[in-house]
Amino acid sequence: GAVVSQHPSWVICKSGTSVKIECRSLDFQATTMFWYRQFPKQSLMLMATSNEGSKATYEQGVEKDKFLINHASLTLSTLTVTSAHPEDSSFYICSARDPGGSKADTQYFGPGTRLTVL
Amino acid sequence: AQSVTQLDSHVSVSEGTPVLLRCNYSSSYSPSLFWYVQHPNKGLQLLLKYTSAATLVKGINGFEAEFKKSETSFHLTKPSAHMSDAAEYFCVVSKRDDKIIFGKGTRLHILP
């Protein structure tokens, strides 16, 4: 149980285009999902918290107009990188929090999406 | 405020020997603590979680961790390393606002 999927697993795009990444909780409903960014050989950096039915909460220094987050259902959150530039190239990972019982504060992670902007 | 420190950025062990990955935490309340593993270009997999029910926590793939409040430690161990254990390991502490804090990670190398 507690499986989170991401799509696509990798994407290459041209500078100036927008890219959408999907994060799905497959066997549980997630009222809260998180989006992280990971640079090579580094730990994960929280970008934003995605709450179903409300606006996302962004961490300091993360441009909300650049990284659009939509959490339209209890099983799907999307991250859109708008007007992507080479410096946006990174590994993006989502997680979902299982709200049930003793697992309430456990985050389950997706497999990640490798974004390369040319 | 919560924080977590992984004491080693790299650990190398021979296959079949014990593994010890060290983690110290700081928290103003009794937190939940986690260990996650990340294989190259993959997401994070939950190894185990401490939630105050028991100080010795058993996880998947033969890993376990012991919560020691007096030492503010939550070290990860495994009796016998396997080649497939080579990966990045993250110690994580929970915060009250549903967020989690990652350690910087420990790269585990397994020598044949």
Check if the beta carbon of residue B25 is closer than 8 Å to that of residue B72: yes
Query: What would the pLDDT profile of A86-100 be if each residue is shown by its tens digit?
Result: 999 999 999 998 776
Mean of pLDDT over chain A: 91
Pairing of strands A44-51, B87-94: unpaired
Nearest-CB residue to A105 (from B36, B90, B98): B98
Note the Cα B109 to chain centre separation in Å: 15
Greater confidence (B98 vs B55) lies with: B55
Q: Given pLDDT bands bounded at 50, 70 and 90, which one contains residue A103?
A: low
Q: Given pLDDT bands bounded at 50, 70 and 90, which one contains residue A53?
A: confident
Residue A37 identity (one-letter amino acid): R
User: Is residue B96 packed enough to be buried (19+ CB in 10 Å), middle (13-18) or exposed (0-12)?
Assistant: exposed
Check if the beta carbon of residue A84 is closer than 8 Å to that of residue A19: yes
Looking at the complex, report in whole angstroms how far the Cα of residue A104 sits from the nearest Cα belonging to chain B. 9
Query: What per-residue confidence (pLDDT) applies to A102?
Result: 58
Averaged pLDDT for residues A58-83 = 94
Search chain A and give the residue with CA nearest B88. A41
Search chain B and give the residue with CA nearest A42. B104
Per cent of chain A over pLDDT 70 is 95
B45 pLDDT more than 80 = yes
A101 pLDDT more than 60 = no
Query: What per-residue confidence (pLDDT) applies to A90?
Result: 95
Check if the beta carbon of residue A111 is closer than 8 Å to that of residue B42: yes
Query: What would the pLDDT profile of B75-87 be if each residue is shown by its tens digit?
Result: 999 999 999 999 9
Query: What per-residue confidence (pLDDT) applies to A104?
Result: 62
Averaged pLDDT for residues B45-50 = 93
Residue of A31, A34, A43, A114 to mutate, testing the B interface (most B Cβ within 10 Å of its Cβ)? A43
Q: Given pLDDT bands bounded at 50, 70 and 90, which one contains residue A54?
A: confident
Averaged pLDDT for residues B85-107 = 91
Averaged pLDDT for residues B46-73 = 92
C-alpha count within 13 angstroms, C-beta hemisphere, residue A116:
6
Nearest-CB residue to A105 (from B90, B94, B104): B94
